[in-house]
Structure 1
Amino acid sequence: MSEWVLSLEGTDAGRMLAFGLAIMAAVLHAVFGALQKGSLDPWITRGSIDVSYSLMSIPIVLFLVPWPEPHLWPLLIGAMVIHFLYKLAQAMAYERGDYTVVYPIVRGMGPLITVIAVGFVFGENYNVVQWFGVICLSFAIFALAGVNLAQNKMDRATMWVALFYAVLTGFGVAAYTTWDAYGVRATVNPFTFIFWLFLLEGVLFPPISVLKYRAMAVKPAVSAMASRGIIGGLVAFASFGAIMFATRLDKVGEVAVLRETSVVFAALIGWLFLREKVGFLRAGLMVAIAGGAILVEFGG
């Protein structure tokens, strides 16, 4: 499998595969975000998911992928720290703000910062059309968050704290996207970095979840935590695994922008399955988001 993936690097087929993986990751990321902001406390949900995918990774790293090369360990440890800080900020944002407000802000920050960062790290260059696409997508996402916020009845003090953590989480998205892309490219077998990262970074957040669980007056059922954790773990494997593979095959910035179309898929899921109203303004903003992504991907 890894040999086949490596053979596609730098080819048109590899770029098209990266495009498909990024879109798949966008759909699954919308599902993953909804899972964490669902009926369970976000701290508990995140811990359950982390435990699940860390345990799922054990047989894979023991029997199916090579042991990490010596130079890969600092990259794995750095990724653990970045992912941990990102999860802290995300849980704080979800705890204080509504999903429809917090999620778009997080996803709007990500591509803007990532495209700038990968220019320094990987030397990626983008033309005027692509930059226009990045700005169009990001500001359309921010506008979507603004529309949702205008219709929201959040307390003003709580709102500003939630927005602060949402912006901080957006920086975390850019940080882990860039760092993980570097890690995936630093090893011969990309599966090594991906599954060892799943194993290692899944052990840092659960202790916080345990403390939160013990402090809860009304504790959620273990069965609910387990089911949410297993489903979330499988979605995380597919979503984050897909985006990391995509960054190995194509430009990191382009892949990051495509992933942020998850905002569109989140809205479509709400419209199709939850009977939520979209309206002309939201529909127009979703078209702008998709159009921005198309400009970035095909305007180069």
Structure 2
Amino acid sequence: MLSPFSIAMVLLAALLHASWNALLRGGLDRARSMAMMNATLGIAGLVLLAIAGLPAAASWIYVVASGVLHWIYVALLLVTYRSGDLGETYPVARGSSPALVALGGSLFAGEWMNLIGIVGIGLVCGGIFMLAAAKGRLRHMNLPWALATGVSIAAYTVVDGIGVRASGNWAGYTAAVFAFFIAMPLWFLARSGAGFFKAPATEVAKAVGGGVISILAYGAIIWAMQASPMGAVSALRETSVVFAALLGAAFLGERLTAQRIVACCIIAAGAVVVGWH
């Protein structure tokens, strides 16, 4: 069972995650925005690593694995940009990952959930898929890429859940993982030249702001997974889609239909079950 403080931290991370997605949604060039955001993550990771120190050597293999999996995750997102709008596929990626994380936590960390916990995760996943269907996403998206993205999210979540427990230093572990992100903008720079990073000041500010928010959001998740079941943390994190729907209605002019409201209520009910089972 998650502590009330852990629940609050994960829900805050979900809100932050939805916020930076809303912040970047209107970007003129998503690939460039992603590169600048990852540059922010990488630089911040290196600075934090100098402050927090290295995690225990036993966790280094997990740091490397997480870094590589995050590279794969970003690559899948870029493929998604080319195969369809991110908003069409990301709900399925977010919806599939909690169940996969729960399965990974059971197989690799012995975190076998009881029936109530499984029901809670099922409600969260089902509600997210319903939210996607409510916007007509499921009929038009490139489903294989969405599911592949969900698998990558689940993979790095399970790796980080195990890795942070071996690290003895959650801040150092988080910093080391984020330090890997510096390779992504360097790759973009080598591929496209310095012109790739020339963008209006507003776009740069959005990307940097998104990077800072992302650090806070995922840092909170890594902190929570030190002592909480990975599947439960993942399910609570994906309530970000509810916050995204509310932020979209409040600031982006998106409609909250009856079906979307019901889906949000199902996700919220699942989060309650997962948090307090």
Aligned-partner SS, 1:249: coil
- CA-to-partner distance for each residue in 1:249-281, whole Å, 9 max, x for gaps? 311111110001001000000112223211111
- The corresponding residue for 1:50 is 38
- Work out whether residues 43 and 182 of structure 2, in 8 Å CA contact, stay in contact via their aligned partners in 1: no
Aligned-partner SS, 1:186: helix
The answer to whether the aligner puts 1:176 opposite 2:156 as a matched pair is yes
- Work out whether residues 120 and 269 of structure 2, in 8 Å CA contact, stay in contact via their aligned partners in 1: yes
- Work out whether residues 232 and 274 of structure 2, in 8 Å CA contact, stay in contact via their aligned partners in 1: yes
The answer to whether the aligner puts 1:223 opposite 2:204 as a matched pair is no
The answer to whether the aligner puts 1:197 opposite 2:173 as a matched pair is no
CA distance in 2, matches of 1:22, 1:233: 18
- The corresponding residue for 2:219 is 241
- Which of the numbers 250, 253, 260 marks the counterpart of 2:238? 260
CA distance in 2, matches of 1:130, 1:219: 45
- Which of the numbers 239, 242, 250 marks the counterpart of 1:272? 250
CA distance in 2, matches of 1:151, 1:90: 17
Displacement of 1:219 in angstroms is 8.2
TM-score after normalising by structure 1: 0.84
| Larger deviation, residues 256-265 vs 136-145 | 136-145
TM-score after normalising by structure 2: 0.91
CA distance in 2, matches of 1:288, 1:176: 26
- CA-to-partner distance for each residue in 1:105-145, whole Å, 9 max, x for gaps? 11101101001110012211222222122112212211221
Aligned residue type for 1:242: A
- Report the CA distance shift for 1:270/1:72 in structure 2 as closer, same or farther (over 3 A): same
- Work out whether residues 100 and 145 of structure 1, in 8 Å CA contact, stay in contact via their aligned partners in 2: no
What is the identity percentage for the equivalent residue pairs of Structure 1 and Structure 2? 29
Displacement of 1:96 in angstroms is 3.0
| Larger deviation, residues 23-32 vs 218-227 | 218-227
Aligned residue type for 2:253: R
CA distance in 2, matches of 1:212, 1:284: 45
CA distance in 2, matches of 1:250, 1:105: 24
Equivalenced residue count is: 277
- The corresponding residue for 2:165 is 185
CA distance in 2, matches of 1:107, 1:15: 23
The answer to whether the aligner puts 1:81 opposite 2:60 as a matched pair is no
CA distance in 1, matches of 2:248, 2:23: 13
Gaps of 5+ in 1: 1-11
- Report the CA distance shift for 1:137/1:220 in structure 2 as closer, same or farther (over 3 A): same
Aligned residue type for 1:193: Y
Displacement of 1:215 in angstroms is 11
CA distance in 2, matches of 1:70, 1:124: 24
CA distance in 2, matches of 1:228, 1:212: 23
1:77-226 to 2 correspondence within 5 Å?
Answer: 77-149=64-136, 159-160=141-142, 163-199=143-179, 201-210=180-189, 213=192, 221=199, 223-226=201-204
- Work out whether residues 51 and 229 of structure 1, in 8 Å CA contact, stay in contact via their aligned partners in 2: no
- The corresponding residue for 1:18 is 6
- Report the CA distance shift for 1:70/1:219 in structure 2 as closer, same or farther (over 3 A): closer
1:30-69 to 2 correspondence within 5 Å?
Answer: 30-62=18-50, 64-69=51-56
The answer to whether the aligner puts 1:250 opposite 2:231 as a matched pair is no
